[in-house]
C-alpha cells in the first residue's frame, strides 16, 4: 500500500497525467513509425504547424480562467489579419524591400494587434459593462468580426504582400522555426503574468469565486476588460502567423481552430468554470495533440480519424480528471493542489 503512494501523488495533478499522455503518445508513435516520427524533418514540420492554434488556445485559456470563454478568437484573428493584409496591399508595393518594407511590416503588425485589442475591448465591454454571458457575447461578436472581415474583402482572399511577410511563419532563427520561438515567448509571458503578477492572481481569484472577488474590492469590470483585450491581442498574433504561413488573409481561415482551441484548453486541465489552469498544461495538451496528429498522419490514418481520436482523448481526460474514484489521484485532492 505504501509503495503505491508516491505514484498516485505524482499523477494527482492533471498536468502530470497529461505529461504522461504526451510521453506515451510520443513513445507509441516513435515505435510505430520509427524512421519518420523521430526525424528532424518531422520535428520541424510539427514546430511550424502547432503554434498558430496553440496561441489561440492561450487566448482561450486566459478567458476560461475567469470562468468565461472566448468564441471570437478565430473571428478576431481573421479580422486582424485581413486588416493588416488590406493595409499592406493598399499602400505597399509588393516589390518593396529593405528598410521601407520593414517599416510597413511593423506598421501592419501593430495595426493588426490594435485591431485585435479593440475587438477584445468590445468583448470586454459586453461582458463587464453590459453583463452578457461571455459565451453569447463572444459568439455574437465572433460573427460580427468574421462578418466585418467578409465585408472588408468581399469574401475572397487578400494576397500580394512584400516578401518579408512570409518570414514570420516560414523561416528559422538559429535553426529553430520562428513560429515556435514566438509561441514559447508568448507562453512564458502569459505564464509569468498568470503566476507572478497581481493581475494574474486577480484573474484566478475572480475565476475561483466571483462573489468573493467582488467583496475583496477588486475592480471586476476593469479586470474582465483587460482579460478580453489580452485574449484579443493573442488572437491577432495568431492571425498574423496564419496570414504569414498562408501568405494571404481570408475571412474564413482556420475556422476549425475554434473548437480545437477550446478542446486544447480543457484537455490542458483548465477548468472551464474558472479559477484553475496552468500554461504548462496547455503546452502539454498542444504537444499531445500535435504528436497524435503527426503520428497518425504518418500511419496514413485519415484526417477524420484524427478528429475522432481528439474527441475520445478529450472525454477520457475529463473522466479521469473528474472521477476521483476512478483510480489514480483518488483521494489526493487536498494534498496535491497548488
> Which residues are at the interface with other proteins (CB under 8 A)?
71, 126, 130-133, 135-137, 139-148, 150-151, 154-155, 255, 259, 262-263, 266, 272-273, 301-302, 304-312, 314-315, 318-319, 322-323
- Find the shortest distance in angstroms from Cβ 263 to other proteins: 6
Minimum gap (Å) between residue 203 Cβ and other proteins? 20
Of 184 and 318, nearer to other proteins (C-beta) is: 318
Angle at 109 between CA 107 and CA 181, to 5 degrees: 140
- In the bound state with other proteins, the residue whose beta carbon lies nearer, of 244 and 297, is 297
Instruction: Output 99 or 131, the one with its CB closest to other proteins.
Output: 131
Closer CB to other proteins, 98 or 154, in the complex: 154
Helix orientation angle between 73-91 and 51-65, rounded to the nearest 10 degrees: 130
Residue 156 burial (CB < 10 Å; 0-12/13-18/19+)? exposed
CB-wise, 126 or 283, nearer to other proteins?
126
Element (H, E) at 229: helix 220-246
Q: Nearer to other proteins by C-beta: 92 or 213?
A: 213
Grid cell for residue 80? 486582424
The least CB distance from residue 133 to other proteins, in Å, is: 5
Give the whole-angstrom CA distance, residue 79 versus residue 30: 39
Number of neighbours of residue 28 by Cβ within 10 angstroms: 14
Contact 66, 274 (CB under 8 A): yes
Rg (C-alpha) for the chain, rounded Å, is 21
Q: Give least dist CB 273 to other proteins, A.
A: 8
Distances from the Cα of 123 to the Cα of 142, 237, 250, angstroms: 9, 17, 22
Angle of CA points 80, 84, 85, to nearest 5°? 115
Give the contacts of 144 (CB within 8 A, at least 6 positions apart).
75
Q: Considering beta carbons, is residue 197 or 256 the nearer one to other proteins?
A: 256
Q: Rounded CA gap, 239 and 73, in Å?
A: 9
Q: Smallest distance, Å, CB 51 to other proteins?
A: 21
CB of 153 to other proteins, least distance (A): 9
Smallest distance from the beta carbon of 298 to other proteins, in angstroms?
A: 17
By C-beta, is 148 or 249 nearer to other proteins? Answer: 148
Please report the beta strands in the chain, taking only residues with DSSP state E, as ranges in sequence order: 158-159, 172-173, 176-177, 248-249
Minimal distance, residue 134 CB to other proteins, in Å: 10
Amino acid at each position: 500500500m505504501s509503495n503505491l503512494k508516491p505514484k498516485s501523488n505524482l499523477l494527482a495533478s492533471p498536468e502530470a497525467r497529461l505529461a504522461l499522455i504526451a510521453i506515451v503518445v510520443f513513445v507509441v508513435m516513435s515505435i510505430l513509425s520509427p524512421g519518420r516520427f523521430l526525424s528532424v524533418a518531422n520535428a520541424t514540420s510539427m514546430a511550424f504547424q502547432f503554434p498558430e492554434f496553440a496561441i489561440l488556445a492561450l487566448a482561450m485559456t486566459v478567458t476560461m480562467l475567469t470562468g468565461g470563454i472566448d468564441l471570437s478568437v478565430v473571428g478576431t484573428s481573421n479580422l486582424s489579419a485581413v486588416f493588416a493584409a488590406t493595409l499592406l496591399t493598399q499602400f505597399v508595393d509588393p516589390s518593396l524591400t529593405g528598410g521601407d518594407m520593414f517599416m510597413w511590416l511593423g506598421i501592419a503588425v501593430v495595426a493588426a494587434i490594435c485591431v485585435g485589442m479593440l475587438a477584445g475591448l468590445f468583448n470586454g465591454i459586453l461582458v463587464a459593462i453590459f453583463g452578457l454571458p461571455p459565451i453569447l457575447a463572444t459568439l455574437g461578436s465572433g460573427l460580427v468580426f468574421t462578418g466585418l472581415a467578409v465585408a472588408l474583402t468581399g469574401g475572397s482572399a487578400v494576397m500580394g504582400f512584400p516578401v518579408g511577410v512570409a518570414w514570420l511563419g516560414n523561416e528559422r532563427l538559429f535553426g529553430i522555426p520562428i513560429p515556435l520561438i514566438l509561441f514559447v515567448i508568448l507562453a512564458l509571458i502569459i505564464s509569468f503574468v498568470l503566476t507572478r503578477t497581481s493581475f494574474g492572481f486577480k484573474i484566478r481569484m475572480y475565476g475561483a469565486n466571483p462573489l468573493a472577488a467582488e467583496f475583496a474590492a477588486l475592480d471586476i469590470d476593469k479586470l474582465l476588460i483587460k482579460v478580453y483585450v489580452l485574449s484579443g491581442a493573442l488572437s491577432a498574433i495568431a492571425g498574423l502567423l496564419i496570414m504569414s504561413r498562408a501568405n494571404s488573409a481570408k475571412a474564413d481561415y482556420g475556422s476549425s481552430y475554434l473548437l480545437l482551441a477550446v478542446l486544447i484548453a480543457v484537455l490542458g486541465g483548465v477548468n472551464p468554470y474558472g479559477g484553475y489552469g496552468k500554461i504548462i498544461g496547455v503546452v502539454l495538451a498542444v504537444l499531445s495533440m500535435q504528436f497524435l496528429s503527426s503520428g497518425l498522419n504518418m500511419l496514413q490514418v485519415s484526417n477524420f480519424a484524427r478528429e475522432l481520436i481528439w474527441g475520445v482523448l478529450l472525454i477520457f481526460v475529463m473522466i479521469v480528471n473528474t472521477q476521483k474514484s476512478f483510480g489514480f489521484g483518488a483521494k489526493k485532492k487536498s494534498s496535491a493542489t497548488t
